[in-house]
């Protein structure tokens, strides 16, 4: 299990830097800060660590360049700001890293890129190739074309899925806070910083504030959830203040900074990680207690007889969520039948499928190879 003393042995880091750390809290790109990040990352690379950088800042930089006083709400204006700001952001990174003899590459992603299995694998291969050639990939959400339907929602989530993509040892989420506290430090002056915790601890979600700053979209809650997602590939997560001087080398030296969230569950297979990483479901199946027990304890496929009801419209092969009677998610997977056929076979034995539908694609609604048990 990862602890701070083992950080020196890690060989692949994903580092996420938020908007406030790159833009002087919205007052344009802080090129001095970007230069400092490049120097710190160069230090890590000299220690043999491969680095993928997930960077916010394009929308905030675009807002500043366009002279707007606050973040717009119209999607077209946000996309315009991203298009303008991305130019300056990447140019600043390229110039900064060049001073340390390091090449960079820009990769813009949407959730749609990672929900498609072949594109997911292509993204993995591209990142692996760039790292093999000693290039630092700089990843951002493709805000210029993204819609709510294919949005990650925040770069914390994108960073966690990137960690899954490349099997990172460590995910570092840099923010304007010192780390995770046992209560909101903005409201409680006696709040205590949590130095280290197992990622499976139930109470850490309650400790995390759901509120973010004016520029960014994430709060501490999204960072905790990102740590849970990263743990699927056995990745440890550190949430720390990017305002601490020389933070990255100090983390490498195991200084007790920020919060280390340790993955304490068995890592998922690559395919299960991909399934769990789907953020947009097309429908919901409500399971009975017997079906839930079979999924959680025996790793079986989901049969029609164990489903009490369904919601939504979906096609064969699309992602659906499986819940208990109280609406709590217990699993998710790729459905073998479209919703109008699911309506005819739920609650029925599998041997009746040919009679009810006139054919049988599979005896299960979701095959165990296309199903992942989740924890919510």
Is 37 in the same domain as 158? yes
Q: Which of 42-56, 143-157, 256-270 has the lowest mean pLDDT?
A: 143-157
Is 369 in the same domain as 292? yes
Residue 213 confidence (pLDDT): 45
Is 264 in the same domain as 293? no
Is 82 in the same domain as 193? yes
Is 325 in the same domain as 206? no
Residue 209 confidence (pLDDT): 56
Residue 34 confidence (pLDDT): 94
Residue 1 confidence (pLDDT): 62
- Sheet hosting strand 283-287, strand order edge to edge: 307-312, 283-287, 319-323, 329-334, 371-373
Helices marked H in 143-299: 155-166, 203-207, 220-230, 247-252, 270-276, 289-298
pLDDT digits (tens, 9 = 90+) for 159-214: 999 999 999 999 999 998 899 988 877 778 888 999 999 998 888 877 775 654 44
Mean pLDDT of the chain: 87
Is 313 in the same domain as 291? yes
Is 303 in the same domain as 249? no
| DSSP helix, strand, coil percent of the chain (3-state; round to 5) | 40, 20, 40
Q: How many domains does the chain have?
A: 2
Domain that holds residue 293: 281-373
Q: Domain ends where: 231, 248, 272?
A: 272
Residue 100 confidence (pLDDT): 95
Q: Which CATH number fits the domain that encloses residue 318? A: 2.30.130.10
Q: Which CATH number fits the domain that encloses residue 36? A: 3.40.1160.10
Is 369 in the same domain as 303? yes
Residue 272 has pLDDT above 90, yes or no: no
**Is residue 325 within 8 Å of 263, Cβ to Cβ?**
no
Q: Domain ends where: 249, 272, 295?
A: 272
Q: Which of 185-194, 281-290, 299-308, 360-369 has the lowest mean pLDDT?
A: 185-194
Is 193 in the same domain as 294? no
Q: Domain ends where: 272, 292, 317?
A: 272
Mean pLDDT over residues 302-329, rounded? 93
| Assigned token pair, 30 | 């802080």
More confident call, 95 vs 61: 95
pLDDT digits (tens, 9 = 90+) for 230-264: 998 999 999 999 999 999 999 999 999 999 999 98
Is 157 in the same domain as 227? yes
Residue 241 confidence (pLDDT): 94
Is 154 in the same domain as 287? no
Residue 25 confidence (pLDDT): 66
Is 213 in the same domain as 336? no
Residue 151 confidence (pLDDT): 47
HSE (side-chain half, CA atoms, 13 Å) at 304: 24
Mean pLDDT over residues 335-364, rounded? 94
Question: How many C-beta atoms surround the C-beta of residue 12 within 10 A?
Answer: 16
Question: How many C-beta atoms surround the C-beta of residue 175 within 10 A?
Answer: 25
């Amino acid at each position: 299990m990862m602890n701070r003393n083992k950080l020196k042995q890690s060989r692949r880091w994903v580092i996420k830097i938020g908007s406030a750390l790159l833009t002087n809290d919205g007052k344009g790109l802080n090129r001095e800060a970007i230069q400092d990040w490049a120097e710190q990352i160069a230090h890590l690379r000299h220690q043999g660590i491969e680095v993928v950088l997930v960077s916010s800042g394009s929308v905030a930089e675009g807002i500043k360049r366009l002279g707007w006083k606050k973040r717009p709400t119209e999607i077209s204006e946000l996309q315009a700001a991203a298009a303008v700001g991305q130019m300056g952001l990447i140019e600043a990174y390229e110039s900064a890293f060049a001073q340390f003899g390091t090449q960079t590459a820009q990769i813009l992603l949407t959730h749609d890129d990672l929900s498609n299995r072949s594109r997911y694998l292509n993204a993995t291969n591209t990142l692996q190739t760039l790292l093999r050639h000693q290039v630092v990939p700089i990843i951002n959400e493709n805000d210029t074309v993204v819609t709510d339907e294919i949005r990650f929602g925040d770069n914390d989530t994108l960073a966690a899925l990137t960690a899954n993509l490349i099997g990172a040892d460590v995910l570092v989420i840099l923010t304007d806070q010192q780390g995770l506290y046992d209560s909101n430090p903005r409201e409680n002056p006696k709040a205590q910083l949590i130095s280290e915790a197992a990622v499976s601890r139930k109470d850490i979600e309650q400790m995390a504030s759901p509120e973010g700053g004016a520029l960014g979209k994430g709060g501490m809650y999204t960072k905790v959830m990102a740590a849970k997602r990263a743990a699927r590939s056995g990745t440890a997560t550190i949430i720390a203040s990017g305002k601490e001087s020389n933070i990255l080398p100090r983390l490498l030296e195991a200084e007790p900074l920020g919060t280390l969230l340790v993955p304490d569950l068995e890592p998922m297979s690559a395919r299960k990680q991909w399934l769990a990483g789907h953020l947009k479901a097309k429908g919901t199946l409500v399971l009975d207690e017997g079906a839930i027990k079979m999924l959680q304890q025996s790793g079986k496929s989901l049969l029609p007889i164990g489903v009490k009801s369904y919601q939504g419209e979906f096609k064969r092969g699309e992602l659906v969520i499986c819940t208990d009677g109280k609406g709590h998610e217990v699993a998710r997977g790729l459905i073998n039948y479209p919703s109008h056929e699911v309506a005819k076979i739920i609650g029925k034995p599998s041997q009746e499928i040919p009679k009810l539908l006139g054919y049988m694609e599979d005896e299960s609604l979701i095959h165990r190879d296309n199903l992942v048990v989740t924890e919510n």
